[in-house]
Amino acid sequence: MARPPKRRLTETLALVPTAPLRAVDFCVDAYGGRALRCLWAVARQTIAEAVRMKLAIFFLVLLVLTFWAASRTEGDGTVSGRVQSFVTYSVTSAGVLLAVLSIFLSRSLSDELQQRQILMLMSKPLPRWQFLLGKWAGIVLLDAVLLAVTGLGVYLTATQYLARQTPLNDFDAGKLRFEVLTARHASPFVLPDFTREVNTLYARNLEEGVYDAIEDFAPLVEKDRLRKYLDGRWRNVPVGEERYFEFANVLCDRSEDSAIQIRYKAQANRYPPDEILRTQWIAGDRQKNTAIAATPRRDVIGRYHTIAFPADTVAPDHTLRVRFINVNPYAGEPQYDNRLFFEGPRGVEVLFQVGTFGGNLVRALVMVQCKLMFLAAVALMFATLFSFPVACFCSFITYLLAGMRQFIEDALGSLEAKGAVGLARAVISVMVDALGYVVPNFARYNPVELLADGRNVTLAWALQSVVYLVAIGAGVALLIACLFFYRREVSEVSV
């Protein structure tokens, strides 16, 4: 068969993408131990297969198309909105695409079993665990490379292309800089200590004989109820009143040109006709000699709003005091009589920059990679047991269950709460428990929302996903895979 002469050029070109492989080759050859040499041999074979079978290239093309589509989204028309939706879409879809790829790459093992290359492999001095681990490493490395390419693409598109579009207005520009392309830590306000008030109230009630008629009276429970009552009353701000929200450990850069943000969501007992709240926020603490900054606000009820304050309103001891006044500051606009309240621990939070968008993106991608590592291990586990179609099906079911676990738990949990009784209740609770043991909850390790919102994806969280998804999840899956594989007679073909 005649060979086209241009082969020489393609061979030369092929040296470029394979350079990292060669570099690892060199290192493993020079410094690798016995196990590492085998692991790397299997891993590079897996990568070579994915590349040669054009699977990886197909996914790369798909990734680029997704990027292109995501970068075309308009969002709410603002540049900050466009960046947010681009980051959300591109990282999410890259995660899904690579999850599918990870599952499909386990085909390599199924094929070797089916087409019997395994006979040659297992007659070499290659321990079975090293073979499995090598396969996994190959898939995981390929994922990592593709994810790194994704990360670079997201970063460059977001910061160098989208962020350079002309912003709609100053608000848009500020939002992009301080609320999207950043990594902010959010910390809730410190709840006032109600112990003295609770004790006073409790003593008075006791004195007045309020509790005399109650059977099984538990003082601790009653004190807790009183605390909640006082807390609720404190969170309610009637018209004309004010509240001081105290924050501790605001470890931000306190220089003049940097900023902190207060994020809050106010509810009202009665809505004004235009559904707009007119209030005032003042940051700073006179006693601690900080700068003082005041902002009048017109806010839509029941939505999160963010106000930026200069960072020098934070005291040197990293505390921050914010005063909220339920009085209309706008002359000529009517004062509406209503009571406002801030619900839950995140009702009012302070946000301050602790890192960069780049660092945040890296941590978020590490978490995505953890999921891929788990899926790759699961797919290999099934591949040691079943033929490719069955293994693939099982892996996808696992992926779906992991992705939907939160939803399923909520749904089944509410069924349970809504008075399912007897057998039904038992079955539901067993199902929820079993699900908890079989698949991890992917929703708990989803950093995309925070990333797009410019909120810090903490290193601790990323490490947590490493522990739960990789060390435990993938570890157990690989262990089971080894068990199956060692018991298995490789020369028998599974169908």
Partner 1 sequence: MPSDDLPVIQTAGLTKIFKDFWWRNRVVAVDALNLEIRRGEVFGLLGPNGSGKSTTIKMLLGLLYPTRGRISVFGRAPTDVAVKSRIGFLPEESYLYRFLNARETLDYYARLFRLSGPIRQDRIDRLLGMVGLEHEAKRRVGEYSKGMARRIGIAQALINDPELLILDEPTAGMDPIGTRQIKDLIRDLGKRGKTILLSSHLLADVEDVCDRVTILYGGQQRAAGPTSELLSQRDLTQITTEKLPPEAVEEVRELLQRTAGKRILEVSSPSDKLETFFLRIVAEAQAANITTSGVRAAGELPDFLGGKPSAEQVIESLVSAARAPQRIEAEPAPTSKPAAQEPARKVIEQLTSPPKPAATPPPAKPAPAQEQTPERERKPVKADRSVIDSLTKKPDRPKNGQTPETSSD
40 binds partner 1, rule: CB under 8 A: yes
Place of tokens 């968008």: 357
Distance CA(409)–CA(432), nearest Å, equals 6
**Smallest separation, CB 489 to partner 1 (Å):** 5
User: CA angle, 156 as apex, 155 and 157 as ends, to 5°?
Assistant: 95
Query: Is 189 within 8 Å of 246 (Cβ atoms)?
Result: yes
Distance CA(493)–CA(495), nearest Å, equals 6
Query: Is 283 within 8 Å of 328 (Cβ atoms)?
Result: no
**Smallest separation, CB 145 to partner 1 (Å):** 19
423 binds partner 1, rule: CB under 8 A: no
**Smallest separation, CB 375 to partner 1 (Å):** 24
Of these, 13, 119, 251, 294, which contacts partner 1 (CB under 8 A)?
Answer: 119
**Smallest separation, CB 1 to partner 1 (Å):** 5
Residues between 475 and 494 that touch partner 1 (CB under 8 A): 489-492
**Smallest separation, CB 148 to partner 1 (Å):** 24
Using the contact rule CB under 8 A, the part of the chain among 38-46, 88-96, 256-264, 268-276 near partner 1 is 38-46
Of these, 75, 127, 188, 358, which contacts partner 1 (CB under 8 A)?
Answer: 127
450-453: list long-range contacts, CB under 8 Å, 24+ apart.
450/360, 450/364, 451/87, 451/88, 451/91, 451/360, 451/361, 451/364, 452/84, 452/85, 452/87, 452/88, 452/180, 453/84, 453/179, 453/180
8 binds partner 1, rule: CB under 8 A: no
Interface map 66-105 toward partner 1 (x if CB under 8 A): ----------------------------------------
Please identify, using beta-carbon distances, which residue of 25 and 409 lies nearer to partner 1: 25
Of these, 41, 176, 181, 377, which contacts partner 1 (CB under 8 A)?
Answer: 41
Nearest of 236, 217, 218, 240 to residue 228 by alpha carbon: 236
**Smallest separation, CB 28 to partner 1 (Å):** 9
Of these, 10, 123, 160, 287, which contacts partner 1 (CB under 8 A)?
Answer: 123
17 binds partner 1, rule: CB under 8 A: no
User: CA angle, 53 as apex, 51 and 59 as ends, to 5°?
Assistant: 65
Of these, 12, 15, 16, 30, which contacts partner 1 (CB under 8 A)?
Answer: 30
33 binds partner 1, rule: CB under 8 A: yes
CA atoms within 13 A on the CB side of 142: 34
121 binds partner 1, rule: CB under 8 A: yes
Residues between 237 and 296 that touch partner 1 (CB under 8 A): none
Distance CA(42)–CA(50), nearest Å, equals 12
Q: Which residues pair with 281 in a beta bridge?
A: 295, 324
Q: CA–CA distance from 459 to each of 19, 95, 140, 187, 434 (Å)?
A: 31, 19, 21, 16, 30
343 binds partner 1, rule: CB under 8 A: no
Using the contact rule CB under 8 A, the part of the chain among 84-92, 125-133, 357-365, 375-383 near partner 1 is 125-133
Distance CA(6)–CA(329), nearest Å, equals 77
Distance CA(229)–CA(195), nearest Å, equals 12
Number of residues that bind partner 1 (CB under 8 A): 35
Using the contact rule CB under 8 A, the part of the chain among 113-121, 161-169, 181-189, 305-313 near partner 1 is 113-121
Query: Is 309 within 8 Å of 283 (Cβ atoms)?
Result: yes
Q: How many CB atoms lie within 10 A of CB 189?
A: 23
**Smallest separation, CB 477 to partner 1 (Å):** 23
45 binds partner 1, rule: CB under 8 A: yes
CB neighbours of 91 closer than 8 A, spacing ≥ 6?
Answer: 150, 154, 361, 364, 365, 368, 448, 451
Interface ranges with partner 1 (CB under 8 A): 1-3, 25-26, 29-30, 33-34, 37-38, 40-41, 45, 48-49, 52-53, 115-127, 489-492
